[in-house]
Each structure stands twice: as C-alpha cells, then as structure tokens.
Amino acid sequence: MGEMEQGAYVDSLLNLESLRKSLVRQEDTIIFSLIERSKYPINSRLYHESNAASPLHFFINESEAVQAKAGRYVSPEENAFFPDSLPHPMLPPPKHKPVLHPSGASININEKIFNHYLKTLIPLVAAKGADDGNYATTAASDLACLQALSRRIHFGKFVAEVKFRDSPQDYTPAILAKDREGLMALLTFESVEEAIKKRVEKKAMVFGQDVENQESGNFKVKPSLVSQLYGEWVIPLTKFVQVEYLLRRLD
Amino acid sequence: MGEMEQGAYVDSLLNLESLRKSLVRQEDTIIFSLIERSKYPINSRLYHESNAASPLHFFINESEAVQAKAGRYVSPEENAFFPDSLPHPMLPPPKHKPVLHPSGASININEKIFNHYLKTLIPLVAAKGADDGNYATTAASDLACLQALSRRIHFGKFVAEVKFRDSPQDYTPAILAKDREGLMALLTFESVEEAIKKRVEKKAMVFGQDVENQESGNFKVKPSLVSQLYGEWVIPLTKFVQVEYLLRRLD
C-alpha cells in the first residue's frame, strides 16, 4: 500500500460520512451471512460441549490463526474471538498511523457477541429440521456471521473517536465523571436507530426473497428478526463499545 | 446424524428436482460471494507470485486444512483446491452409502476453476482503485467465491449420476464409444441454459442493488457479468464435469 492510499484509508476511518457508508455496506454483509447460515439446521454437535471446548471454538480458533498469518488482525477494524497467542502476519503489515486512542483500541467484546450468537441467534436463523451432518460448512458460515457482526459492533470505536474529535467539549465532562448513562444519552438518536432498523428489515426482504417467485412472501431470514437483531443487540452493543471507548479516551 | 436423515440426505443428491433446487439456491451463494469480493480492489500482492507460492495459495491451503479437520471433504459435495495431504476429520464422518460411482467421485477440476477465477474473474469483479491492504479479508472472500463456484460446478457429478440412472440406455452407447461430443449433445438443453442465465442476471440485479436508492441503477456486480460467467464458464464446466463423470460411469 503506497503512502497516499494509507492516508486515504486512515482518513476514511476518521470521517463520519465514510464510516456511515461503511456501516450501511456492512448491513449487506451481515444479512448475506445470516441468509447463508439459514441453509443449515442448528447442527448442535458443533456446540454441544462447553463453548471453550466445542468443535466451533476449535474451528474459529484455528481459522483465526490462518487469518492472522494473512494479516487480518493488523487492521484496526478486526478483533479476534480468541486473540491469545495468534501467530504473526507473514506479509509486512501496512504502516498506518494509529487511528484510535491506544487505551480504547484494544476493546474487544467478542465473548459477549459469541455467546449471544450461539444462544439466541442461531436457533432463530437456522433451518428447521434434524442435524444434516454439514458441520464444516456450518462452522464456516458461523464464522462469517460472527466476523461480520463483530466488525460492525466494534466500529463503535471509530464512531466514538470521530465524535470525540469533533466536539471534545461535549464528552469530556461525562468522561471525567465516569458517567456511563450520560455518555449513552449523548450517543443515542432514536430517529437514526429507527431508520437503521427499517432499512435492515427492507434489505432482508430484498436479499432474502425468492427471486423466482417474488409474490410468495417467503424470506430466507425473517425480516423482522433482522430488525430486532439490530434494535436489541447490534445497536446497543455498538453504543456499549462507544461508551467504553470514550471512558478511556482521556487516559 | 441419524440413519433416517442420512437416507434423506443421500436421496436428495439422487433426485433431479432436489438437485435443481440446490443449484438454484447455490446461485444466491455465488452472487453473494461475488458481491462481497467486489468490496475490495484486486489487491495483487495476494497473487503476485506464481500461483503455487502466492499468499492466496498459502491461505487456501491452510484454510482447507482447518476445514478438513472439521470434516468438510467427507461430503461428496466438496472438493478441495489443494487436496494433497489434508488432515483427517476430527468428528467421526457420517456414514453415507456412496452416492457417486467410485471412478467418477474423485473428479476434481479445481485447478481450472482456480486459474480462471484468478486471471479472468477477479479483474472483472474487484473494486477499482489501488491496493487497500486488506489482504486477509480479501483472501477469505476469494476462498468463499472459489468454494461456491467449485461446489456448483462439481454438482455436475450428481446430475450426471441421476441422468444415467434414469436412462442408462441413452448414455451407454456414447460412453462405450468414448464419444465426448455425443455426450455433450445429450447433456445440452439451450432453453434451460438461457433460463439460468436470465435468472442469475436478475438475481444479481436484486441482490446487488442499492437498496437505499433503488432507482440509481447501480449494481455492486454487473448483472450481465454474472450472466456471462454462467454462460461462458459455470455451465460449460458443469457439463465438462458431467461428461468426464459419464465417461467413467461404466468402469
């Protein structure tokens, strides 16, 4: 990556309009990944043991090791689910100037995301029916969902950084007072959240429709489920990341 | 997987209507994966060396090893890109009765798919612009495209098996005469192929549209490109697999 492109990349992570565009584009990725997961039944043998020893845990851990070698976790946009002892990248990492404040850059709430995905989301998205034996493709599909959700939710760090840089005076008193509720109130815009929920519901209708039979009213993933996922989970967790980030912003 | 589900799974691979449904569903997967790849520029450092030593080769090879442990290549639907010395699955594989004739089951044209994908498809699908440094996510996206295309194309084995079982008398003379052209003619239905090309073009318009601005006429992947991909490449290679399979069907 040349220096000019590096600069453009860093700038795009510090510009509210380009962050918004990325978040909108990430909605497509999340919905595609959920639609793909919906091809498979729960396939509970992947999850049957305690999470830490389940085949899915193993699969994600090893997949992240391969992706770490390819440099995935050099990017400030990516957070590993099992970050301990990942191997170093084989390609020299791009030399970005750091985008995030160091204390907040390391925030990682993937354990929360992982547990919620397993317990709540899979049963709602998975196809009905008995185990179909497609464990490896199911696990790959789980990983795609988890990574898409994790990237979206941790984007809260960039959003918080940009908001702080734009008007530090608005956030500083609440940060100094460690006032989580006050920060949450500053970051909450209900009309924006409603617009997001409507948009992802519409996207789920568009992307999950039966294209050969558009009148069928069948959707691969229930559009209201995607709206609910965003309203009850993705948006609140993104704001949680923003609050955590801001609380460390003056360290 | 219980015995009943195993039976249902095997039956679904030997039934022309359920194969057709799977192929139609796989179109969505292929188009989603291409749309995802279109987020990234070519990122040519992944491919810069001879294929056999490129970072992408390395990434796919290691990813396939992880997926092999999770049992991916136990499925007759899956064919590895680098099948040599893959590790054994950790979960006991499902005990399907074999669906395919043994001589044809091992057909693997992934090298052809890999080379065509790299040389022809990536430059047409990738975002314009300079290297963005997202090598790991680009490679993961390449792997998703390659696996989706490979599964689709190798489904020709099941299609050929079912067609042969349904009317062996139609195929046996051409098989015994090693008459590739005759077999290709028996497997070619132009009106069906045209319908597939139209459908995937429509799907690319639906899935790749700008949902916030449906009148824009912007698509993430050019719909005519997907139609062309099927017409010039996916369908001919699927038929190639069918012919190769049938030629071995009486071994």
Give Cα separations from B3 to B9, B76, B101 (angstroms): 10, 17, 21
Mutate to test the interface with A, among B18, B64, B141, B211 (most CBs of A within 10 A): B211
pLDDT at A152: 98
Are residues A135 and B70, on separate chains, in Cβ contact within 8 Å? yes
Give the CATH number, domain containing residue B101: 1.10.590.10
Over residues A17-70, the pLDDT tens digits come to 999 999 999 999 999 999 999 999 999 999 976 656 899 999 999 999 999 999
Give the residue from B139, B111, B138 showing the smallest Cα distance to B127. B138
Weakest mean pLDDT among B5-9, B74-78, B102-106, B184-188? B5-9
Question: How confident is the model over A87-104, as a mean pLDDT?
Answer: 86
Q: Which one of A5, A28, A139 has the shortest CB-CB distance to B130? A: A5
Shortest CA distance from A132: residue in chain B: B1
The answer to whether the CB of A145 falls within 8 A of the CB of A117 is yes
Helix/strand number for chain A, H first, E second:
13, 0
Name the residue facing B206 among A2, A133, A211 (closest C-beta): A211
Specify the length of chain B in residues: 251
Residue B5 pLDDT = 59
pTM above 0.90, yes or no: yes
Q: Can you tell me the ipTM of this complex?
A: 0.94
Please give the C-alpha separations between residue A241 and each of B120, B122, B249, in angstroms, as whole numbers. Answer: 41, 35, 58
Instruction: Give the total number of structural domains in chain A.
Output: 1
Question: How many whole angstroms separate alpha carbon B136 and alpha carbon B236?
Answer: 31
Amino acid at A233: W
**Mean pLDDT of chain A, nearest integer:** 93
Radius of gyration of chain A (CA): 19
Taking an 8 Å cut-off on Cβ atoms, the answer to whether B63 and A66 are in contact is yes
What dihedral do alpha carbons B137, B223, B147, B2 form, nearest 10°? 120
CA separation, residue B244 to residues B104, B154, B178 (Å): 7, 11, 10
- SS3 letters across chain B: CCHHHHHHHHHHCCCHHHHHHHHHHHHHHHHHHHHHHCCCECCHHHCCCCHHHCHHHHHHHHHHHHHHHCCHHHCCCCCCCCCCCCCCCCCCCCCCCCCCCHHHHCCCCHHHHHHHHHHHHHHHHCECCCCCCCHHHHHHHHHHHHHHHHHHHHCHHHHHHHHHHHCHHHHHHHHHCCCHHHHHHHCCCHHHHHHHHHHHHHHHHHHCECHHHHHHCCECCCHHHHHHHHHHHHHHHHHHHHHHHHHHCCC
More confident residue, B192 or A212: B192
B49 falls in which pLDDT band (50, 70, 90)?
low
pLDDT value for A113: 98
Q: Do residue B202 and residue A209 have CB atoms under 8 angstroms apart? A: no
* Long-range contacts (CB closer than 8 Å, 24 or more residues apart) made by B77-84: B77/B13, B77/B151, B77/B154, B77/B155, B78/A136, B78/A137, B78/B147, B78/B150, B78/B151, B79/B108, B79/B110, B79/B150, B79/B151, B79/B154, B80/B108, B80/B110, B81/B110, B81/B111, B81/B113, B81/B114, B81/B146, B81/B150, B82/B57, B83/B108
Give the confidence band of B90 by pLDDT, cuts at 50, 70, 90.
confident
| Nearest Cβ partner for B55 among A70, A134, A139 | A70
Identify the domain containing residue A215 by its residue range. Answer: 3-248
- The yes-or-no verdict on residue A95 having pLDDT over 80 is no
Give the nearest partner residue to A207 out of B2, B130, B207, using CB atoms.
B207
Residue B1 has pLDDT above 50, yes or no: no
DSSP assignment, residue A84? T
CA distances for A192 relative to A10, A161, A185, angstroms: 25, 19, 14
Number of neighbouring beta carbons within 10 Å of residue A180: 14
CB pairs under 8 A, 24+ apart, for B94-99?
Answer: B94/A133, B94/B1, B94/B6, B94/B9, B95/B6, B96/B6, B96/B9, B96/B10, B97/B6, B97/B10, B99/B10, B99/B13, B99/B14, B99/B158, B99/B161
- B206 and A202 in contact by Cβ < 8 A? no
Spell out which residues of chain A touch residue B199, defining contact as CB-CB under 8 Å: 211-212
CA–CA dist A184, B186 (Å, integer)? 66
Considering chain A, what percentage of its residues have pLDDT values greater than 70?
96
Torsion of the alpha carbons at B30, B35, B39 and B42, rounded to the nearest 10: 50
pLDDT at position B51 = 57
Neighboring chain A residues of B1 at a CB cutoff of 8 Å: 130-133
Give the distance, in angstroms, between the CA of residue B44 and the centroid of all CA atoms in the same chain.
Answer: 23
Q: Report whether A30 contacts A121 (CB < 8 A).
A: no
Of all residues in chain B, the percent with pLDDT exceeding 70 is 96
